């Protein structure tokens, strides 16, 4: 292992996107199914995506789609809110990947016009580090 962290975690808050794409269960499932292959990751499961509608009203702003896929390297998930034109996406991996590539594929798939992304280097698990060197948050 030649890195000083466990792996990259890309988080994207989609603030404006195509509402039809965000609300299309087949589109969300297909995106989750194809993304690992396109970024060189190994799928361990088929994608799991299902509609969520807490109030039963098809126009409920909280209604959307939740999707997830387990990859050998960790996971990829998305939660969409089509009536708001918003979604939340995560890609976490113990193996390096190109965040710009993942972001580009996501933006194209859902015709995103406004977003905020964050890339975090997760886990100071370099074998050269002592656990005493890793800053932690004490439990209250």
| Domain harbouring 72, CATH code | 3.60.90.10
**Quick check: is 77 catalytic?**
no
Q: Do the domain assignments include residue 137? A: no
Of the residues 29, 74, 77, 93, only one is catalytic, namely 74
- Within a domain: residue 138? no
pLDDT of 130 reads: 54
Q: Work out how many domains the chain is built from and give that number.
A: 1
pLDDT (mean) for 15-20: 97
* Mean pLDDT score, 103-113: 98
**Residue 138's pLDDT is what?**
64
16 assigned to some structural domain: yes
Say what the pTM is: 0.85
Q: 29-46: string of b/e by CB count within 10 Å (b at 16+)?
A: bebbeebbeebebebeee
From the candidates 94, 116, 117, 130, give the one annotated as an active-site residue. 94
Structural domain range at position 123:
7-129
Read off the pLDDT of residues 60-93 as tens digits, 9 standing for 90 and up: 888 999 999 999 989 999 999 999 999 999 999 9
Given this model, what pLDDT does residue 81 score? 96
Residue 30 falls within a domain, yes or no?
yes
Q: Is 129 in the active site?
A: no
Q: Is residue 106 part of a domain?
A: yes
Q: How many CA atoms lie within 13 A of 132 on its CB side?
A: 0
Q: Which of 9, 29, 77, 79 is flagged as catalytic?
A: 79
Q: Determine the pLDDT at residue 84.
A: 94
Domain contains 135: no
Predicted local distance difference test score (pLDDT) of residue 61:
81
Does 79 qualify as catalytic in the annotation? Answer: yes
Structure tokens at 86: 């918003």
pLDDT value for 126: 53
């Amino acid at each position: 292992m030649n890195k000083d962290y466990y792996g990259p975690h890309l988080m994207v808050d989609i603030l404006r996107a195509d509402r039809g794409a965000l609300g299309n269960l087949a589109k969300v499932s297909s995106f989750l199914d194809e993304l690992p292959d396109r970024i060189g990751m190994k799928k361990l499961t088929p994608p799991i995506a299902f509609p969520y509608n807490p109030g039963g009203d098809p126009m409920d702003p909280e209604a959307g789609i939740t999707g997830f896929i387990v990859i050998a390297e960790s996971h990829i998930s998305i939660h969409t809110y089509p009536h708001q034109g918003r979604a939340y996406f995560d890609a976490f991996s113990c193996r390096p990947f190109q965040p710009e590539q993942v972001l580009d594929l996501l933006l194209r798939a859902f015709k995103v016009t406004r977003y905020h992304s964050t890339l975090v280097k997760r886990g100071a698990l370099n074998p050269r580090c002592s656990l005493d060197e890793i800053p932690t948050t004490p439990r209250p």
